[in-house]
Amino acid sequence: MHGHGYRGNQILPVATRSNGTSVFIREKFIQQVESAILYGADGFHEFIPSDSPLQGMRMILPDAPMGRGISLMDFSWGFHLCHNILKSCYRWYFGTDKWIPMPSMNHPHAEIRDMIKLDRTWWILGGFNAVQQIGSVNYPHQISEYMSESGRWFTGSNYLGRYHEGLAKVSNRTVLAVGGSLTSARLVSAVRDVNEFNVLTGDVSDIGLTACPIFGITCTDLTAQNGTRMILCLGGYCPGPSPEYQSKVYVLNLETRDWKEMPQWEFPETIRFATIFWLRGVLFVIRALYEESETYTVYKFDETLEPVWSLVELSPDHPNEFTRVVKFNRSVIIVGN
């Protein structure tokens, strides 16, 4: 079992508690990393593994725009970053020490989570024209954009008009969109629809439904032990009179287009906006509790085991257990293989 969506570079977000202490993953999961880019509120850092964490850290890219509303995508040559509201974009190449200004996006994409890389093309799907004000109800626009290898942005087909849906690659021109919200009042406007969207033509195909109207579900592609290519989606939040966080797992068989719930793969805890990542062919899920808790957990998926999800040991309070300790507060982008 392995994933197709991430090769070489890996994006691994890790959470920070409100008291400022970070959650670390044990060294055995990163000991083979050649280097890492650490992305936090104070800027970007580069971590090069060494016996001393102080020797291994250096500040880089200090002129990169930070704050809310940043979209960052990794490529084989480096990273491309855009401000979703200001539309300004920058590019950083591995081995250099500064961001290069690049052509701006054509449209704002505030509140966006819906971006995906198809082949070598970066797509941003929908979003709002501005940050939503508390108490207001607005509708996301349907504008999609894609970036050429030169960094120039082009307007694509009209998107589905919803946001915070689960998104995964089906092919180099189609994506799977699961659930999502139709207005900024997302707690009352989610849908059950599961669709395949062609980013080039705008064509939409109906795939199936979720058990309830949902947003915040997270999807990834994988290949099962028997060689079947599929998309796995988990978690989410179902609003309504009896709102409920979800632990359900759904799969789409990419060969038969069969969409179904997988009770035997149900996630051990409720989860929404999960972080799914692949590290050396293994699927991991980071769960940050939303029920007014400061607990963060990481699970590993293995369909040959029963149950298929196993808890990964974390050590948030004992850095002496690590041969190298890196302090960060938002996300780690693994550059090594």
Please report whether residue 106 resides in a domain.
no
Please report whether residue 235 resides in a domain.
yes
Residue 262 neighbours by CB under 8 Å, 6+ apart: 249, 250, 251
Please report whether residue 297 resides in a domain.
yes
Number of folded domains in the chain?
Answer: 1
Please report whether residue 136 resides in a domain.
no
- Give the pairing type, strands 166-169 and 100-102: unpaired
Task: Give percent above pLDDT 70 in the chain.
Answer: 64
pTM over 0.95: no
CATH of the domain at 261: 2.120.10.80
Domain enclosing residue 261, as ranges: 210-336
Please report whether residue 60 resides in a domain.
no
Predicted confidence at residue 62, as pLDDT, reads 42
Q: Does pLDDT of 47 surpass 70?
A: no
> Cα(111)–Cα(261) distance, rounded to whole angstroms?
29
- For the ranges 255-269, 278-292, 293-307, the maximum mean pLDDT occurs at 255-269
Predicted confidence at residue 313, as pLDDT, reads 66
Q: What region does 4 belong to: left with phi over 0, alpha with psi -120 to 50, or beta?
A: alpha
The pLDDT tens digits of the residues spanning 222-268 come to 999 899 999 999 999 998 778 899 999 999 999 999 999 999 999 99
Please report whether residue 129 resides in a domain.
no
Q: CB–CB of 158/139 below 8 Å?
A: no
Residue 174 pLDDT level (bands cut at 50, 70, 90): very high
Predicted confidence at residue 101, as pLDDT, reads 92
Q: Does pLDDT of 22 surpass 70?
A: no
Q: Does pLDDT of 196 surpass 60?
A: yes
Residue 123 neighbours by CB under 8 Å, 6+ apart: 115, 116, 117, 144, 145, 146, 156, 175, 199
Predicted confidence at residue 67, as pLDDT, reads 53
DSSP letter at 110 equals B
C-alpha to C-alpha distances, 95 to 33, 40, 208, 322, 335, nearest whole angstrom: 16, 20, 46, 27, 12
pLDDT: which is higher, 119 or 76: 119
Please report whether residue 62 resides in a domain.
no
Please report whether residue 27 resides in a domain.
no
Q: Does pLDDT of 37 surpass 70?
A: no
